Structure 1
Amino acid sequence: MKKRTYDETTWYDPRLAILQSTIQGKGMFASEPIRKGEIICIIGGTVFNDDEFQAYIKTVSRWNAVQIGEDTHLVDLSVPPEEMDGSMNHCCNSNTWMLDEVTVEARRDIAEGEEVTIDYALQTGGSDWYMECHCGSPLCRNIVSGDDWKKSDVQEQYMGHFAPFINGRIRKLKGD
């Protein structure tokens, strides 16, 4: 099997704008309508194993990364952490989901001015990771963790649109 290569930088749809968020800090917002199924971003970066990633995040205050495999993370090093001015915030009922391990697509139509969000459960599988959630969604889980993919309601909500390694975990959990 051929090893996949990734772009060094993340591509964002030019219709995204960084603005102040009611969820947390600054987030990404649609400056024009985005239709269901349209690609929002393609995450790029440098591949780190879990030990390298854990060492890296101890040296920075912010990072842009996604878990792409059981012991593998993709870290976008193209923007220094001190220059990062926004990110795609988490929401427990996000308007995007994963098409593959790096491609984020609109889960539904996104209106102009609406914050573009992703459920971190779609791409985070570390059982030691968690955070408080302030998304305000009626589906808010209050605490988001790297084990949320195990929850049947979360699996049902995002059917097949987790990062591929998490989709594999779900199939194994269900005995498929």
Structure 2
Amino acid sequence: MIAKIYENVIVKNTDKGLGVFAVRNFHKGEVVIIGRRVELLTERTLYSLQIDFNLHAELDAPGRLINHSCNPNTGIRNNQFGGYNFIALFDISEGEEITWDYETTEYVFISVFQCLCNSSNCRGRLRGFSFHPVEIRHKYGEFIADYLKI
């Protein structure tokens, strides 16, 4: 794929497939990407995100193309478009890959099991929010799917 530029980010090939990268600096708390729902589903797909226990949403690009990290630079927040906003958890530099923790939306993860993030605190495999220890749940605070805030 030839790189594709969106507002504030660019999608390009990486060794993990497609990735989303900042084309400018972002400050902690700033919305990096607004993910808008394009389809509501009752079953998962390769690119869907869980939005309730039995509902999934496919987001528009570039939201659906953001890679996972066990040490992400964005967290998610439900938005008015039926999807998720990706919010900077700390300052993000131009050129940095935008990442989020897939387990902050997926209650039980069933599509990608082996983690490829290579972060220093990589969990090795993705299992889902229901398997997170309390300290990881608290790490993200408000930046998890609303349906998981029970």
- Taking structure 2 as the reference length, the TM-score comes to 0.80
Verify: 1:35 aligned to 2:27, yes or no.
yes
1:128 to partner: Cα distance: 4.3
Verify: 1:91 aligned to 2:91, yes or no.
no
Q: Which runs of 4+ in 1 moved over 6 A?
A: none
Higher percent of residues as strand: 2
Q: How many residues align?
A: 140
Instruction: Assess, with a 3 A threshold, how the Cα gap between structure 1 residues 149 and 167 changes in structure 2: closer, same or farther.
Output: farther
CA distance in 2, matches of 1:127, 1:138: 21
SS at match of 1:143: coil
Identity %: 25
SS at match of 2:21: strand
- Taking structure 1 as the reference length, the TM-score comes to 0.70
Alignment of 1:32-71 (within 5 A): 32-43=24-35, 44-49=37-42, 53-54=43-44, 57=45, 63-71=46-54
1:153 to partner: Cα distance: 2.8
Instruction: Assess, with a 3 A threshold, how the Cα gap between structure 1 residues 98 and 147 changes in structure 2: closer, same or farther.
Output: closer
Structure 1 vs Structure 2 CA RMSD:
2.5
List gaps (5 residues or longer) in structure 2.
Answer: none
Provide Cα deviations, 1:4-39, integer angstroms capped at 9, x if missing partner. Answer: xxxxxxxx96111112335x1120000111111111
The higher radius of gyration belongs to 1
For residue 97 of structure 2, the aligned residue among 83, 91, 115 is 115
List gaps (5 residues or longer) in structure 1.
Answer: 1-11, 58-62, 169-176
Which amino acid counterpart does residue 86 of structure 2 have in structure 1? Answer: V
Instruction: Give the aligned partner of residue 140 of structure 2.
Output: 158
